Amino acid sequence: MKPFDYRSPADAATAVRIVGGDPGAVFLGGGTNLVDHLKLGVVEPGLVVGVAGLLPAEVEELGGGALRIGAGVNNSELAADPRVREWFPVLSQALLSGASGQLRNMASVGGNPLQRTRCVYFQDVTTPCNKRKPGSGCSVVGGWTRHHAILGASEHCIAVHPSDMAVALAALEARARVLGPDGERTIPFVDLHRLPGDAPDRDTVLEHGELITAIDLPAQPIARRSAYRKVRDRASYAFALVSVAAALDVADGVIVDARVAFGGVAHAPWRAYRAEEALRGAPASDRSYRAAADAELADARPAEGLDGGNAFKIPLLRRTLAATLRDLVGEDAR
Amino acid sequence: MTFPSEPDAVGRDLPRRDGAAKVLGTATYAYETPLANAAYLHAVQATIARGRVTELDTTAAEALDGVVAVLTPSSAERLASTEDRELAVLQDEEVAFRGQVVALVVADSSEVARHAAALVRVSYAQVAHDAELRADREDLYAPETVNPGLPTDTAEGDVDAAMAAAEVTVEETYTTAMYHNNPMEPHATTALWDPAGDGFLTLWDSTQGVHATRAAMASVFGLDEARVRVVCPYVGGGFGSKGQPHVNVVLAALAARAVPGRPVRLALTRQQMFSLAGYRTPTIQRCRLGADRDGTLTALAIDVVEQTSRIKEFAEQTGVPARMMYASPNRRTTHRLAALDVPVPSWMRAPGECPGMFGPEVAMDELAECLGIDPIELRIRNEPRVEPGSGKPFSTRNLVGCLREGAVRFGWSERDPRPGARRRGDWLVGTGVATSTYPVARMPKSTATIRREGDRYVAEIGAADLGTGTWTTLPQIAADALGVPVDSVDVRIGDTDYPMASVAGGSSGMTTWGSAVVEAARAFRTKYGTAPLDGDEASGTVGPPDDRYAMHAFGAQFAEAHVHRDTGEVRVPRLLGVFATGRIINPRTARSQFIGGMTMGLSMALHEKSVLDPRTGHVVNHDFAEYHITANADVDEIEAHWLPEHDPHANAMGSKGIGEIGIVGTAAAVSNAVWHACGVRVRDLPITLDKVLHALEAQSER
């Protein structure tokens, strides 16, 4: 691990000014991902600026069922918040499906969406990786692609975003409040993460020095009937092979409206607009759910690799979406 | 020699003597040995799988504040013996596998050492490597023997003719994955030469055998064994990977000699353990079974293909359990190896039996399915009267008892044999069975000393406790052998200052060390009677095994598997094992061993796989986030039971080793249960959801 300087300023604005003025500086929140990267040499910052304790750590009601979640709230607290559990069950479930109890106690709402891919080649500095070192090449294709993308990838990178919470937020019309060297701005959460394109080193649209200070959740009655389903290789403490965040409004056996996002399949939390479109007005049936999945997965491209690659994610995601929606509708409404 | 009277301490559920120290954190492990002025070592590893180091630029590393020494092949001392090429580190520029150590850094702190290691610039002349195991390779070869010196191939009768004539046959290929032992405590060593240079070498090393480590290090460094001491009171797990010294011990000793007067500490990182600390080879098992309509086996064959490293051979004895498990007049077992540019494989819990009871035990289930015979009944019909091959009588063989007892406890009689016929909520439900076995091993050498110290008895032997319970169970044996209360007996283990003890391997510890302790007690009583004086002492040595008998432990494992009807996720909510392993010394530590083994077997069934990328030659999922080991949420009900058994031929205690049998057969039981749940035969471990998903897709849409 390369030595670095550490500073813990008095407030967020100062932290932003320090990081914004130093291209070799990074923010440290809960540290659940950055500390690993420091040890592995994945990142070698000259300056680490601690922001834990500098960011709002409350969940604030904005009225009408809307919430503002401070970036300093930890994942365990947010998952347990009664308003989140009742108004946005998909978010609580997504949080609880992530990591382990110990990690959720450390992980912060502001840092969680900014965690980086767990692509094993990205994390291993002895293998080329365009995300870690632009232009060095991608080691994944033809290697171990089990945990990689089937949607929105590029020839430069097929990594996936690992956060569960971010998948729920992408489905919930959330907005990220950001403080930067040039002031504040608000970014629709679905626009926060980038697809890799030819710049896979950039995970998000955040500029250097920008810091998420809060996540706003607008009031959404539809979210009360919502769920997160994570499918993984062991019962806990594993990243998603695929995951589905979904919310449904159903009346008289017909889907009035839907929100759907996928995890584990793309470089960003994948808002499934095409699936939502297919679901609106359709009967609440397995056939509709599968058709919705097929609409979204029309452009899916599996990655060949060891152990058969990741083509299994396509039927798996289709089946997981159908199962999640079926459960949301409930046996009696079928 | 047996106990003077009915055992009193043996068989009692005594708590671990070292438990409190471990829970309180006061038990001292190798890396933590309190020593002043310690320096820290970090290794530089090759990033190619084959070739030569052409240049090592250590300038930046040496310039770093706090760096004490940098050793390379050109600056490291010449070792006295380079015969064991795994241990012949920094002796030349050749790279034989990715991750091999090509230089080392010693610094005042572990952080500086690690940083400096990253600053060492290595240039290579790379040549094409070959790290891909396939059964159709043309360079497969037959090793001279398989671990631990068993015949490579066996043949009786004519398998091909019997298969052709058989009324029912099963012929399938099964595979097990590459696995890493991954004990919690990493491979760790603290080394000190005192006085500096050519002095006396002390190694505090996390090892399953202090004497084995001493012998190997004395040989590598050309020292008289009397000039080496190895100390290891506690081991945070080994599972075979600390049975023989790996390169970390040599590195620490080399580095310590290069920084005179200072002890050097080394703990491998988790990632380094995937290339430097041994592993279990992947196996490819072609299994053939032929049988009459009534289920009597007429042919039984297993042809195994597996890998070893190019620099050191290790031949896992995967085909060996098929030699004795069931009766069959025609039998064939073979082992073929591919020598690859990969790290050196070694022992991992139940080498041979663990992978070797996967293919054959799934094949038996497939045969039962073909015949329409209950899989338990099929196994009972093929019980051998004597050990196949040797013709020797079994000292005790209670496999049938384990199957029947397990069937009752598990509720097997209510089982509907049809696959894919049960559902609970969204889960398809199935049950499966497979058998377990492990040989009763006795090492040729071990000595114990018993001494009267005040009003207590002390047994000394250089044995190991790698979580197995030796600190607790050896006093139980000594107490009964002396005929005294167990509270009046202490043991001292884990140090070459005590009499020579064999390695904790092959489930041989209790048989070997326990026998030595019993002999020492006999000698002590013969010499001093029942009123010894302070300081009186006597020694005893393990005797030869009773080779008139074939000696094995047996077991039966039952699994309930759930397969999610939508996602194919596999869960195992229930595991039950029944074992016949002689007399149980301590039910508490024994249950830990059985349940631990079964959990590791579950982990093998569902989760573990070291993914070796043949393009790079290294295990790419080399951490605990990506190398999945069964976690708490994966384990629900897990029960271990045992039959009352006393094997008078095995040893004075009537016991058999139990450290490894728990992992044997579990994966097959789970695979058989998965088939019963959803109708898919998963012949390639681990059983991941993608391997059953296609069948769920094929089923009619609901």
Please say whether the beta carbons of B555 and B402 come within 8 A. Answer: yes
> How high is the ipTM of this complex?
0.97
Match domain B150-178+280-440+549-698 to its CATH number in 1.10.10.10, 3.30.365.10, 3.20.20.120, 3.20.20.100.
3.30.365.10
- Chain-chain contact of B628 with A238 (C-beta, under 8 angstroms): yes
Please say whether the beta carbons of B314 and B217 come within 8 A. Answer: no
What is the layout of strands, in order, in the sheet containing A59-63? Answer: A59-63, A66-70, A211-217, A175-180, A183-188
Residue B7 vs residue B687, higher pLDDT: B687
- Chain-chain contact of A235 with B633 (C-beta, under 8 angstroms): yes
Look up residue B663 and give its DSSP letter: G
């608000």: which residue's tokens? A186
Per-residue tokens: B372: 């329409």
Q: How confident is the model over A127-177, as pLDDT tens digits?
A: 999 999 999 999 998 999 999 999 999 999 999 999 999 999 999 999 999
Per-residue tokens: B250: 């040599």
Residue A332 clears pLDDT 70, i.e. is over it? no
**CATH match of A5-52 with 3.30.43:** yes
Per-residue tokens: A149: 């993308």
Active site residues of B: 660
C-alpha span between B287 and A199 (Å, rounded) = 50
Query: Please, what is the average pLDDT of chain B?
Result: 97
Per-residue tokens: A182: 């040039």
Q: What pLDDT score was predicted for residue B677?
A: 98
H or E element in which residue B400 lies: helix B399-410
Q: How confident is the model over B61-92, as pLDDT tens digits?
A: 999 999 999 999 999 999 999 999 999 999 99
Q: What pLDDT score was predicted for residue B4?
A: 66
CATH topology assigned to domain A224-327: Enolase-like; domain 1 (3.30.390)
Q: What pLDDT score was predicted for residue B699?
A: 80
Residue B45 clears pLDDT 90, i.e. is over it? yes
Across the range A39-62, mean pLDDT stands at: 96
The domain limits of chain B are 19-28+443-541, 33-128+182-276, 150-178+280-440+549-698
Per-residue tokens: A16: 């932003």
- Chain-chain contact of A120 with B702 (C-beta, under 8 angstroms): no
Measured between alpha carbons, how far apart are the two ends of chain A, in Å? Answer: 56
Residues from B contacting A (CB-CB < 8 Å) are 47, 111, 114-115, 118, 426, 566-569, 571, 606-607, 611, 613, 615-616, 618, 620-623, 625-626, 628, 630-634, 688-690, 693-694, 696-697, 701-702
- Chain-chain contact of A307 with B611 (C-beta, under 8 angstroms): yes
- Chain-chain contact of A320 with B566 (C-beta, under 8 angstroms): yes
Of A209-213, B267-271, B369-373, B697-701, the least confident: B697-701
H or E element in which residue B290 lies: strand B283-291
Chain B interface mutation, best of A126, A290, A294, highest count of B Cβ atoms under 10 Å: A126
Q: What pLDDT score was predicted for residue B702?
A: 45
What is the layout of strands, in order, in the sheet containing B456-460? Answer: B489-492, B456-460, B447-453, B537-541
Q: How confident is the model over A244-299, as pLDDT tens digits?
A: 999 999 999 999 999 999 999 999 999 999 999 999 999 999 999 999 999 999 99
Q: How confident is the model over B603-626, as pLDDT tens digits?
A: 999 999 999 999 999 999 999 999
- A-chain residues near B613 (CB < 8 A): 143-144, 306
What share of chain B has pLDDT > 90, as a percent? 97
The domain limits of chain A are 5-52, 224-327
- Chain-chain contact of A234 with B607 (C-beta, under 8 angstroms): yes
Q: What pLDDT score was predicted for residue A334?
A: 42
What share of chain A has pLDDT > 90, as a percent? 97
Residue A116 clears pLDDT 90, i.e. is over it? yes
- A-chain residues near B688 (CB < 8 A): 233
Q: How far is CA B456 from CA A200, A300, B170, B451, B486, in A?
A: 70, 74, 61, 8, 10
Question: In this structure, which amino acid lies at residue A309?
Answer: G
- Chain-chain contact of B568 with A316 (C-beta, under 8 angstroms): yes
Minimal Cα distance from A2: which residue of B?
B115
Cα atoms found within 13 Å of the Cα of residue B171, Cβ hemisphere only: 10
Residue B436 clears pLDDT 90, i.e. is over it? yes
Residue B636 clears pLDDT 60, i.e. is over it? yes
C-alpha span between A175 and A186 (Å, rounded) = 6
DSSP string across B336-385? EEEEESSPPP---SSTTHHHHTTHHHHHHHHHHHHHT--HHHHHHHT--S
Which architecture, in CATH terms, is B19-28+443-541? Answer: 2-Layer Sandwich (3.30)
Residues from A contacting B (CB-CB < 8 Å) are 1-3, 41, 118, 120-121, 123-124, 126-127, 139, 142-144, 147, 231, 233-239, 241, 286, 306-308, 312, 315-316, 319-320, 322-323
Does the fold of domain A224-327 match that of domain A5-52?
no
**Inter-chain Cβ pairs, chain A and chain B, closer than 8 A:** 89
- A-chain residues near B680 (CB < 8 A): none
Residues near B210 by Cβ (< 8 Å), separated by ≥ 6? B230, B231, B232, B462, B464, B494, B495, B496, B501
Chain B interface mutation, best of A117, A232, A234, A307, highest count of B Cβ atoms under 10 Å: A234
Q: How confident is the model over B652-671, as pLDDT tens digits?
A: 999 999 999 999 999 999 99
CA B569 to chain centre: 28
CA B299 to chain centre: 30
HEC profile for B489-545? EEEECCECCCCCCCCCCCCCHHHHHHHHHHHHHHHHHHHHCCCCCCCCEEEEECCCC
Q: Is B315 left (phi over 0), alpha (psi -120 to 50) or beta?
A: beta
Across the range B366-384, mean pLDDT stands at: 98
Residue B633 clears pLDDT 90, i.e. is over it? yes
pLDDT confidence band for B197 (50 / 70 / 90):
low
- B-chain residues near A234 (CB < 8 A): 606-607, 628, 630-631, 633-634
Q: What pLDDT score was predicted for residue B75?
A: 97
DSSP string across B253-283? HHHHHHSTT--EEEE--HHHHHHHS--BPPE
- A-chain residues near B607 (CB < 8 A): 233-234
Across the range A60-78, mean pLDDT stands at: 97
Across the range B229-236, mean pLDDT stands at: 98
Residue B345 clears pLDDT 50, i.e. is over it? yes
HEC profile for B174-206? EEECCECCCCCCCCEEEEEEECCCCCEEEEEEC
Q: What pLDDT score was predicted for residue B376?
A: 98
Number of H helices, E strands in chain B: 16, 28
C-alpha span between A64 and B303 (Å, rounded) = 70
Residue B198 clears pLDDT 80, i.e. is over it? no
- A-chain residues near B615 (CB < 8 A): 142-143
What is the layout of strands, in order, in the sheet containing B101-107? Answer: B67-71, B101-107, B39-45, B264-267, B188-194, B200-205, B228-231
């991608």: which residue's tokens? A138
Q: How confident is the model over B102-161, as pLDDT tens digits?
A: 999 999 999 999 999 999 999 999 999 999 999 999 999 999 999 999 999 999 999 999
Measured between alpha carbons, how far apart are the two ends of chain B, in Å? Answer: 68
Q: Indicate the residue of B566, B621, B622 with minimum beta-carbon distance to A322.
A: B566
Query: What CATH class does B33-128+182-276 carry?
Result: alpha beta
Q: Which residues pair with B594 in a beta bridge?
A: none
Across the range A179-202, mean pLDDT stands at: 98
Q: What pLDDT score was predicted for residue B411?
A: 98
- A-chain residues near B47 (CB < 8 A): 126
Q: Indicate the residue of B615, B623, B634 with minimum beta-carbon distance to A235.
A: B634
pLDDT confidence band for B2 (50 / 70 / 90):
low
Q: What pLDDT score was predicted for residue B199?
A: 84
A 10 A CB-CB count for A216 gives: 17
Q: Is B165 left (phi over 0), alpha (psi -120 to 50) or beta?
A: alpha
